[in-house]
Amino acid sequence: MKKIKVGILGATGMVGVEYVDFLINHPWFKISTLSGKKSVGRKYGEAVKALSNVPREVGDLEVIDPDPRKFDADLVFSSLPSEAAREVEREFIDHGFPVISEASAYRMEKDVPLIIPEVNPEHLELIRNQKKNSGGFIVTTPNCTAVGLVLSLKPVLEYYGIKKVVVATYQAITGAGFPGVPSYSILGNVIPYIKKEEEKVSEETKKILGRFNGSSIEYASFPVEASCARVPTIDGHLEAVYVETEREVHLDEAVEIFRRFRGEPQKLSLPTAPREPIIVTEIEDRPQPRLDVDAGSVPGMSIVVGRVRRGESNNVLKYFVLSHNRIRGAAGTAILTAELLTAKGYIG
């Protein structure tokens, strides 16, 4: 199979480097174009700011500006700050590119799919509503905090039904991009506020877990109450989840439904699909970001659920979930989405 050429918008950022890492030896995709803003004109290897080893193959590529006329690509991943994404992504769509974006600019538009490939692949049908003469379209992936939460909620919703979700988060500093939160503010500290995060977690969860009725998404109707905090960990968002269910919860059964959960990427054996999307740990003080963030057959792509408990009421399930914010929460989910789009014939 001839490889599909991919360009990356925002390639020099915290998430951009993860794209490069995942794509450098990808069996279907080949990096062709890397773009940035302040680093335009520099070699990629010198422009990357995050502490990361840049693969030799792309170290000498010149970082270009985000101009669709200069992009030699069949597909574009966007890791742009949201303010820039609205205009830049629109230009790429208008020039006929399929765009897969992890920026929030278009996530909640009604004709734009917001995808976690294991959870709502049927929402990709929304692409047909975009009807672009150019042939371009956009698919988005969720906020990094919503990804771990929603992936863990999907089997709970299918098996028990959900009446209400309450979640408290402990989010790593890389989630804020580079340079992110000032070191003096976060070292030895916890900041119980992340701008617009709680709203995104709540709204995006309801969209992703919503029902596609053949033409649009009917949002899930249960409330999602989030409290989000930044903590001084490097990678990995930990979340304490409380779910009120429709049906009575049985603990052993709940552990099994997490363990058994598989989605379309696993059935299709997509290259970036982890064998187990949800890993359950029964060690009493896990998951921990430092120990578990890279768990699984594709490091960073599985979420880890632990401390699974029933609440005081029989219809309450409680657990912690950990997800890699830059991989499962960003680049990894976007690449898995691109693989799914390719397998379904939307790309290539």
Ligand X SMILES: NC(=O)c1ccc[n+]([C@@H]2O[C@H](COP(=O)([O-])OP(=O)(O)OC[C@H]3O[C@@H](n4cnc5c(N)ncnc54)[C@H](OP(=O)(O)O)[C@@H]3O)[C@@H](O)[C@H]2O)c1
Site membership for ligand X, residue 178 (CB under 6 A): yes
- Residue choice 19, 20, 31, 39 for contact with ligand X (CB under 6 A): 39
- Given 144, 228, 250, 324, the catalytic residue: 144
Q: Is 95 a catalytic residue?
A: no
The answer to whether 45 contacts ligand X (rule: CB under 6 A) is no
* Least distance from ligand X to the Cβ atom of residue 327, Å: 9
For residue 321, give Cα distances in angstroms to 103, 183, 221, 224, 274: 23, 26, 22, 16, 16
Pick 16 or 306: Cβ nearer ligand X: 16
Cβ(114)–Cβ(123) under 8 Å? yes
**Candidate list 4, 73, 103, 280; residue touching ligand X; CB under 6 A:** 103
Q: Which of 123, 228, 237, 324 is catalytic?
A: 237
What track of x and - describes contact with ligand X for positions 194 through 233 (by CB under 6 A)?
----------------------------------------
Answer yes or no whether residue 181 interacts with ligand X by CB under 6 A. Answer: no
> Is the Cα dihedral 78, 83, 84, 87 positive or negative?
positive
- Indicate which single residue of 113, 117, 121, 175 sits in contact with ligand X (rule: CB under 6 A): 175
- Residue whose structure tokens are 């992504």: 89
Q: How many residues bind ligand X (CB under 6 A)?
A: 29
Regarding 12 and contact with ligand X (CB under 6 A), the answer is: yes
Query: Edge-to-edge, what's the strand order for the sheet holding 237-245?
Result: 224-230, 162-171, 237-245, 316-323, 303-310, 278-281
* Residues 6+ away with beta carbon under 8 Å from 224: 164, 165, 167, 201, 202, 205, 206
Smallest distance from the beta carbon of 6 to ligand X, in angstroms? 15
| Phi, psi for 143 (deg, rounded to 5) | -50, 145
The conformational region for residue 214 under phi > 0 = left, psi -120 to 50 = alpha, else beta, is left
Which of 236, 272, 264 minimizes the C-alpha distance to 77? 272
Residue closer to ligand X (CB basis): 83 or 158: 83
Q: What is the dihedral of CA 110, 82, 75, 218, to 10 degrees?
A: -20
Q: Is 146 in the site for ligand X (CB under 6 A)?
A: no
The token pair at 176 is: 């804020």
Residues 6+ apart with CB under 8 A from 12: 34, 36, 39, 44, 47, 48, 49, 63
Q: How far is the CB of 228 from ligand X (least distance, A)?
A: 13
Stretch (H or E) spanning 316: strand 316-323
Give, as ranges, the residues between 312 and 331 that touch ligand X (CB under 6 A): 325-326, 329-330
- Which range of residues in 12-20, 127-135, 226-234, 285-293 is near ligand X by CB under 6 A? 12-20
Given the complex with ligand X, which of 317 and 335 has the nearer CB atom? 335
Exposure string of 277-297, with b = 16+ CB inside 10 Å and e = fewer, is bbbbbeeeebbbbeebbbbbe
* Catalytic residue status for 228: no
Give the x/- contact pattern for ligand X in 62-81, rule: CB under 6 A: ----x------------xxx
| Residue of closest CB approach to ligand X | 13
Q: Which residues are catalytic?
A: 144, 237
Binding residues for ligand X, per CB under 6 A? 10-16, 36-39, 66, 79-82, 84, 88, 102-103, 144, 174-175, 177-178, 325-326, 329-330
